Structure 1
Amino acid sequence: MTLLVPLAAILLQVLLPKAIPKLAILDLPLIATIFFAVARRSPIAGTLTGALIGLMQDALTNQPIGVNGMAKCVIGYIAASIGVKVDVENIGTRVLMNFAFSLLESVLLYLIQSRLLGLPGFHLLWLHEVIRALANTAVALPVFLFLDRGKRMI
């Protein structure tokens, strides 16, 4: 399950927007990163999980290699660190975490692409990012419940 879910999330992230362009707003690898980082409650494991998922996502998309890897690495570390201290099984906590991490990823991607890589023309549209965060949060909640059930069955 630990390998299959992130791989499925990455493949769906690559394939779904080609079939239905409006689904490009979702970031399924981010949801997988948050879930596994919080579930393991180890900042080192969360960092490695985020880095691996992000690098695999970069390899299958048209992003420069490492952009998503760096962003999801930071998200994985913070999510795992929060998972150690806070009850992450609470639905309210999950809503706040997914929303905040989605916004944080947008900021990190902007900083990496505009400041670190110096790519021209990369802008942050706040209304779009808030809508993206809401959509990712709405999708993350049932995904988390489904993955929780799978975790209990093992």
Structure 2
Amino acid sequence: MATRSFTSRRELEQHSFPSAVALLVPLGAILLQALLPRPFPRLAILDLPLIVTIFFAVSRRNPVAGTLTGAAIGLLQDALTAQPIGVNGMAKSVIGYIAASIGIQVDVENLTTRILINFGFFLINSFLLFLINRRLLGLTNFHIYWGHEFIRAAINTFVAIPIFFLLDNTKRNE
């Protein structure tokens, strides 16, 4: 008689990555984010560390790992940029947690889902950065222009999709 095992979606589809990928991809994204806007100022619109945070969080489908990944990437990004230490760390840790939680419930391998998730998380990240700068740091001169943020979210989503497909090739099923 056949037995049926009921496991959660999270248990079925968690992915891990080779250590080199898990370490070098975020570091590469952070370094590119810190160095590319200097010779090419228009590339400052990209947020490569956020793209990497979203990818690893939705792929691992573990909220704790997503939070820690976001915090580590954000803090390293803060250390290499002019932001006060912790601003990106807080925002990206929240994004990592939410992304991993959504990854448990939703098919994040679908192209449409990836587009919506990336676009939404870029807007949420902008809102979190606004709240952190205005409310926690008290920077009254920090403003957000939502038209610019929608364009920024669209551009980053356009860049994120090919990066997601490239990084998909590095996944290992657990």
TM-score (norm 2): 0.86
Q: Which of 95, 99, 105 is equivalent to 2:119?
A: 99
Instruction: Report the AA paired with residue 38 of structure 1.
Output: V
Equivalent runs, 1:9-88 vs 2, <5 Å: 9-88=29-108
Aligned partners of 1:102 and 1:48: how far apart in 2?
19
Equivalent runs, 1:130-141 vs 2, <5 Å: 130-141=150-161
How far the C-alpha of 1:150 sits from its partner, in A, is: 2.3
Structure 1 residue runs of 4 or more that deviate by more than 3 Å after TM superposition: none
Instruction: Report the AA paired with residue 124 of structure 2.
Output: L
Instruction: Report the AA paired with residue 37 of structure 1.
Output: A
Aligned partners of 1:127 and 1:109: how far apart in 2?
16
How far the C-alpha of 1:120 sits from its partner, in A, is: 2.5
Aligned partners of 2:58 and 2:89: how far apart in 1?
18
Instruction: Report the AA paired with residue 161 of structure 2.
Output: L
Query: Could you say which structure has the higher helix fraction?
Result: 1
Q: Which of 27, 39, 52 is equivalent to 1:7?
A: 27
Aligned partners of 1:120 and 1:16: how far apart in 2?
29
Q: Secondary structure at the match of 1:2?
A: helix
Q: Percent identity?
A: 70
Q: Which residue does the alignment assign to 2:135?
A: 115
Q: Which runs of 5+ in 2 are unaligned?
A: 1-20
How far the C-alpha of 1:149 sits from its partner, in A, is: 1.3
TM-score (norm 1): 0.97
Q: Could you report, residue by residue, the CA deviation over 1:43-100 in whole angstroms, capped at 9, with x for unpaired residues?
A: 0000000000000000000100000000000000000000001000000000000000
Q: RMSD value over aligned CA atoms?
A: 0.7
Aligned partners of 1:151 and 1:15: how far apart in 2?
28
For this pair of structures, how many residues does the alignment match? Answer: 152
Q: Secondary structure at the match of 1:3?
A: helix
How far the C-alpha of 1:119 sits from its partner, in A, is: 1.1
Aligned partners of 1:68 and 1:52: how far apart in 2?
9
Q: Which runs of 5+ in 1 are unaligned?
A: none
Q: Could you report, residue by residue, the CA deviation over 1:116-148 in whole angstroms, capped at 9, with x for unpaired residues?
A: 100131001011000000011000000000000
